Amino acid sequence: MNTIIVYHSTHHGNTKKLLDAIKEADPSVTLVDITKSQPENLSEYDVIGVASGIYFSTFHKEMLEYLEKNLPEGKRVFAVYTCGAMVKTYARDVKAYAEKRHCEWLGDYGCLGWDTIGPFRVIGGIAKGHPTADEIAGAVEFYKKL
């Protein structure tokens, strides 16, 4: 399966830790940091992963704007994310873009990640020490089951 994962992972690199483990498990995966490069043609890939930290209950704004412009029709799509608190699934916007483009939604994997955004900075952040080795392994297992 020809897979690309486009991602936005800043601040503590929580999401990138998950993706690096996925890449190690499957070296054929292409990882693209959209803060450095924004490929316009994703149609050559069979499977498109979308990954980001969560910012105020959603994927990074730049990631969502990128998807709006570049997600091709009819692909298989999944999401990976890290967040300060696991209160719900945060992939709803990515799933909505995928459905709008008649893509097959493969699911999402989310786990905790150290969060020092906004008011959490004052107290040193939340979810410090995350993602853990088990959470990283969980991302790899999720990917392998696709």
Residue linked to tokens 């020809």: 2
- CATH number of the domain to which 42 belongs: 3.40.50.360
Question: Could you tell me which residues come within 8 angstroms of residue 65 by beta carbon, excluding any fewer than 6 positions away?
Answer: none
- How much is the pTM? 0.90
Q: How many CA atoms lie within 13 A of 85 on its CB side?
A: 8
- The domain total for the chain is 1
Q: Which helix (H) or strand (E) holds 50?
A: strand 47-55
Q: What angle do CA 74, 36, 128 make, to 5 degrees?
A: 95
Task: Tell me which residue range forms the domain holding 44.
Answer: 3-144
pLDDT per residue of the chain (146 residues) written in tens, 0 to 9: 799 999 997 766 689 999 999 999 999 999 999 999 988 899 999 999 999 988 888 899 999 999 999 999 999 999 999 986 677 789 999 999 999 999 999 999 998 675 556 555 554 554 566 688 999 999 999 999 99
Supply the angle between the helices 133-144 and 14-25 in degrees, to the nearest 10: 50
